[in-house]
Amino acid sequence: DGGITQSPKYLFRKEGQNVTLSCEQNLNHDAMYWYRQDPGQGLRLIYYSQIVNDFQKGDIAEGYSVSREKKESFPLTVTSAQKNPTAFYLCASSIRAGTQYFGPGTRLLVL
């Protein structure tokens, strides 16, 4: 089955802890993206990557980090510097300049 998978579905973070959200795609897409969605707000871009070993900051990158060592994978780390991490995190992928397709999302909660 081709698609985008995200794990875990729910994630709990303690104060001062770094957590990593997984995103994998087997669609052979070059570009991958991370968005954050808060209630009543649209999706906001955190980071994106157009090619392996390269990524750019989006509109709200502070407190987050990413890597793109493989075409299929684009993990997002929420660091302790992100003071308000509770949100729904969505990963997407696309061919260059194509439609973005989304994974099922990870809901991050702070304990």
What's 24's DSSP letter? E
The CA-atom distances, in angstroms, between 44 and each of 15, 36, 61, 101, 104 are: 23, 5, 10, 15, 16
Report whether 10 contacts 104 (CB < 8 A): no
Site for another protein in 18-37 (CB under 8 A): 31, 33, 35
Question: Nearest distance from residue 104's CB to another protein, in Å?
Answer: 5
Question: Nearest distance from residue 97's CB to another protein, in Å?
Answer: 6
Question: Nearest distance from residue 27's CB to another protein, in Å?
Answer: 13
Q: Which residue from 2, 14, 16, 41 is in contact with another protein, where contact means CB under 8 A? A: 41
